[in-house]
Chain A
Amino acid sequence: MSTLKRLIKRKIALFSFIVILLIVSAAIFAPLIAPYDPSKQFTEGLTLQGAPLPPSSQFPIGTDLLGRDLLSRLIYGARTSLFIGLLANGFAVVLGTFIGIVAGFLRGRTGSIIMRFTDLMMAFPALLLAITLAAIFSPSLFIVALVIAMVNWVQIARVIYTQTISISEKEFIEAARSLGATNSRILRKHILPHLAPIVMVWATLGISTTVLLEATLSFLGIGVRPPTPSWGNIIFENQTYFSSAPWLVFIPGFAIILLALAFNFLGDALRDELDPTQRGRR
């Protein structure tokens, strides 16, 4: 509770939270908010030469290369981008946390084998791996999320691993053992509660990474497939018009940055509040 209050006092964190809330509601209530069907091609949506229209009263931020309403595509695109961001990050956080805890709690041979494997994953050129995987598997939303998660779990696993080890070495863990607590009780009652804030920080920061990665893959044309709109593939589709109709690229671009920025700010503020090892560094 006090953490929440302190977060509200940080203006940037509060502002970021509101931005996230707005984007999330836009995504959830897309059918109610969006002025048009995002895939409807308007015959009056293009100039006579076949170029996209600039903002007007009918199309508030103009139309795209096929004469579709950009605002509607943007609002529906928020769904895709957020969905993939959350799903991929969810996978990554669950996998990373699980592996980190297992390796940190078991230690010994199992732990070190797992950690050597994360060393190996760390040496992988992450984006190259993601691009290769995405290009090769014909991407569905689910696969894109999975590919992004494959790239992102490693760092979380390493953070959780070192944290688990440092908590396991605390005397209150030995105390619990001396009371006769089972491993599973020690894990549930004494280790997880201490890991929770760290997981929360990484879960928040991670969304920003996954949203950016989705956008990048979609921009390269190997992420979310059109006609399903995502912020990355709106830019991908319209990039040929970027000099004559720059809003087609910069409005979705701005949306991507705004979302990533909001999660970054929020995660950073959370870390300041929740992660005592980082406290006082600002």
Chain B
Amino acid sequence: MSTQPLLTLKDISKKFQIKGSKNSIRAVDGVSLSINPGETLGIVGESGSGKSTLGRLALRLIEPTTGEIEFDGKKISALGSTELRHARREMQMIFQDPFASLDPRMNVESIIREPLDIHNIGTKSERSELVRKTITQVGMTEDALTRFPHEFSGGQRQRISIARAIITRPKLIVADEPVSALDASIQSQILNLLLELRRELNLTYVFISHDLSVIEHIADKVAVMYLGKIVEFASVEEIFSNPQHPYTKALISAVPQINPEHRTDRVVLTGDIPSPSSQPSGCHFHPRCPIAQQQCTDVEPVLRNINSVTHQVSCHLATGGDLR
């Protein structure tokens, strides 16, 4: 493929200092990724895997400790604060909790119009025209504009945050668990809205979720994260049909399957995700891995290509075939 990636992360790390201690947590540890325009990259992992931090690093809402971010030909990681603010017009975020991410003292119109006000887009009448157009685009009616966030349900609030995110016609949207706070019936409505908007507005998504069934529904490519690192990266078909990392397998086996033919033996993980402040030696996954061997405790695996250049895994024991 000759297309230029829209977003490239090069060896991004983030350390958080622990208060009152000399230790630090590596929330994200040497991650490299790239996303082509129009694609949806799903990032999946348990809570504490660093996936939300990675999403925020991609938009430089958090400063990376090391590494580079390149977006649409611009080096985001090198921008000054004013340039960065201007660049934000092109890259937006949708947050997990629609109850917390909307200012309760603003009405819906001011919330959706805020990006236009910030970036000084259009005249006053053009702005309100665009706000009205956008609210209908996310499946709501104009009479919502004069109301306040607390008057709406979770799903409707998430539609409002989507409206706010798309109004500047961004190229990239990072969605951090946008449906996990919602009821299952509402989840698919919001996912379908996101898919529809991607087609209409030619958007690129980074979609963060702990829920593989949601990822399966929306993503083209999937990155599986464990303790701040990507352990497997492949297209969504590859991930589900031929998962290579035992962690990925465990996650997939935990997804409820309706079709009995697709049911596999459940791989049950024992123990919790270790604290990122005290990482295990060797492969970070070995204490919970069902097939761990001696080398896994000693040597840390690196992300390597397997089968094709588009399927990467960091596991000593991955062979490319079906290990089951």
Interface residues, chain A, with chain B CB atoms under 8 Å away: 170-172, 174-182, 185, 189-190, 193-194
Contact = CB atoms under 8 A, between A and B. Distances in A.
B129 interface: no
Nearest to B98: A171
Interface stretch (B88-96, B196-204, B219-227): B88-96
Given A172-B102, A172-B103, A179 B95 contact: no
Contacts, number: 55
A185 B103 contact: no
A170 B88 contact: no
Q: Which of B84, B87, B88 counts the most A-chain CB atoms under 10 A from its CB? A: B88
A176 B114 contact: yes
Interface string B141-171: 0000000000000000000010010000000
Nearest to A177: B61
A64 to B, nearest CB: 52
B101 A175 contact: yes
Interface in B89-132: 89, 92-93, 95, 97, 100-106, 114-115, 118-119
Given A175-B101, A181-B85, 12 more contacts: A170-B100, A171-B101, A172-B100, A174-B95, A175-B93, A175-B164, A178-B61, A178-B88, A178-B92, A180-B87, A180-B89, A189-B114
Nearest to A169: B100
A44 B102 CA distance: 71
Contacts of A175: 93, 95, 101-103, 161, 164
Secondary structure type dominating chain A contacts = helix
15 contacts: A172-B101, A172-B102, A172-B103, A175-B95, A175-B101, A175-B161, A175-B164, A176-B103, A178-B92, A180-B85, A180-B87, A180-B119, A182-B118, A189-B103, A194-B105
A174 to B, nearest CB: 7
A226 to B, nearest CB: 49
Contact of B88 (A180, A190, A194): A180
B86 interface: yes
B118 A185 contact: yes
Contact of B118 (A170, A171, A181): A181
